[in-house]
Amino acid sequence: MIHKHPVEEFLDKAQTLPIIDVRSPGEYQHAHIPGAVSIPLFDNDERAQVGTKYKNAGKDSAVLLGLSLVGPKLADFVKQSKKLNPQGKEVLVHCWRGGMRSSSFAWLLDTAGLTASTLVGGYKAYRNTVLSAFLEPKKLLILGGKTGSGKTDILKELARQGEQIIDLEGLANHKGSTYGAIGQDPQPATEQFENLIHQQWRQLDCTKRIWLEDESRSIGSCFIPMPLWHQMRAAPVAFIDVTKSCRVERLVHEYAGIDHQLLVDATERIQKRLGGKVTKEALDALMRNDYATVADLTLDYYDKAYLHGLSQRDATQVHPIEIREDKPTETARQLIAWADGQTAKAVLR
């Protein structure tokens, strides 16, 4: 008997069981449930053929065409599925709407001795759950600071010291600035970015605080879900005030060994924002491998942009915290002490 699970139950079981995504490769590549393995019932062309047949000749004709296409693949489907869980016999299966593709695949696995459960409503229902989840209020704290303040390293140190975090830039494979894609893996589609955030979001304890970096709505080509963005904009900001000299030193350390042409291209992309004179000075400095001057020049632009965004927040929610040295471990301790103090004040009110 094939079991069917609603989204939350399906995702709970997915923590210990493999997920098989039987949608087409194109659907999977665009976005999928994190951790799911693609075993497509139809390839991209076959899916198009079946869809066209359904539109022109009806369901029965489409089903017959589908059967003729998948028939030679049945044994391979079973072999691939069994490899995913060699220690057990249970797997999870889903398609787009929880209809014929996943039901047929699950039936095949069931006849081959596996226990296959499907997702009620399919990937479409999962996506509805993802988007609605960000409406759930959580106790967010925002780690703010100008470019080069080491916020990502501090965020990771907060996690090591027992705090809950979501590293949005890590999930987006981008550090936020025009230089942010350098040295990173390709960015996911925004839909997949949302799925990745949700994977962590649903695991968090909503009774405890959660730290995120202060971000623009877009991180490279990825967009933060609007409900989460609104929560972030309303949350208290711990603004770490790090000296420019410390930030220049950190940026030089991060970018000095990177492909020279990538730095040139990134600098030219913000020419209109920097202005012609500053861009020329920065490019000349790059030619001399004078990375400190490049960082110093570009930080003038990024600092103005960041402070403008910060000024759009409720000033009573922005809490400056002076940081004298670039030591993420110590900064994390200082932030935790500050956050504990904020909690204590709230209790006394």
- Tell me the catalytic residues: 95
Alpha-helical (H) ranges within 112-256 are 122-133, 151-160, 168-172, 190-201, 226-234, 244-255
Element (H, E) at 104: helix 100-111
Contact 6, 24 (CB under 8 A): no
Per DSSP, 221 falls in state T
Contact 187, 220 (CB under 8 A): yes
Contact 317, 211 (CB under 8 A): no
Contact 222, 127 (CB under 8 A): no
Of 233, 237, 238, 249, the residue nearest 334 (C-alpha)? 238
- 10 Å CB burial of residue 167 (0-12, 13-18, 19+) is middle
- Compute the distance between CA of residue 103 and CA of residue 111 in angstroms, rounded to an integer: 12
Pairing relationship of beta strands 115-119 and 3-5 according to DSSP bridges: parallel
Residue whose tokens read 């209020």: 137
State phi, psi for 144 to the nearest 5 degrees. Answer: -105, 165
Of 281, 260, 242, 245, the residue nearest 179 (C-alpha)? 260
Round to the nearest angstrom and report the end-to-end CA distance of the chain.
57
**What region, left, alpha or beta, does residue 243 occupy, with left being phi > 0 and alpha being psi -120 to 50 degrees?**
beta
Element (H, E) at 21: strand 19-21
